[in-house]
Amino acid sequence: MQVNLKILRYNPEIDSKAHFETYTVEAEPTDRVLDALNEVKWTRDGTLTYRRSCAHGVCGSDAMRINGRNALACKLLIQDVGDSMTIEPLMGFRVIKDLVIDMDQFWENYKKIKPFLINDDQAPAGRERLQSQEEREVFDDTTKCIMCAACTTACPITWTNDKWVGPAAIVAAHRFIYDSRDQGQDERLNILNDRSGVWRCRTVFNCTDACPRDIKVTRAIEQVKRTMLYDNM
Partner 1 sequence: MLNIYRGREGMISWALHRLTGLGVLLFLLIHIADIYVINYGPEAFDELLFIYHNPFFRAMEVLLVAALYYHGLNGLRIIAIDFWDRAVLYQRQLFWAVVIAFFVTFIPTAILMLRPVLWAN
Interacting residue ranges for partner 1, rule: CB under 8 A: 65, 67-69, 91, 154, 156, 159, 202-206, 208-209, 216, 218-219, 222-223, 225-226
Q: CA torsion sign, 208 to 174 to 61 to 164? A: positive
Q: Nearest distance from residue 205's CB to partner 1, in Å? A: 3
Q: Nearest distance from residue 118's CB to partner 1, in Å? A: 26
Q: Are strands 2-9 and 84-88 parallel, antiparallel or unpaired?
A: parallel
Q: Nearest distance from residue 223's CB to partner 1, in Å? A: 7
Between 9 and 38, whose beta carbon lies closer to partner 1? 9
Best CA proximity match to 166, nearest among 145, 193, 197:
197
Q: Nearest distance from residue 70's CB to partner 1, in Å? A: 8
Between 38 and 88, whose beta carbon lies closer to partner 1? 88
Helix (H) / strand (E) element for 70: namely: strand 69-72
Between 55 and 91, whose beta carbon lies closer to partner 1? 91
**CA–CA gap between residue 14 and residue 92 (Å, rounded):** 22
Q: Nearest distance from residue 154's CB to partner 1, in Å? A: 7
**CA–CA gap between residue 180 and residue 198 (Å, rounded):** 21
DSSP 123: P
Between 91 and 191, whose beta carbon lies closer to partner 1? 91
Between 173 and 217, whose beta carbon lies closer to partner 1? 217
Strand, coil or helix: what is 26? strand
Q: Is 72 left (phi over 0), alpha (psi -120 to 50) or beta?
A: beta
Cα-flanking dihedrals φ and ψ of residue 105, to 5°?
A: -65, -40
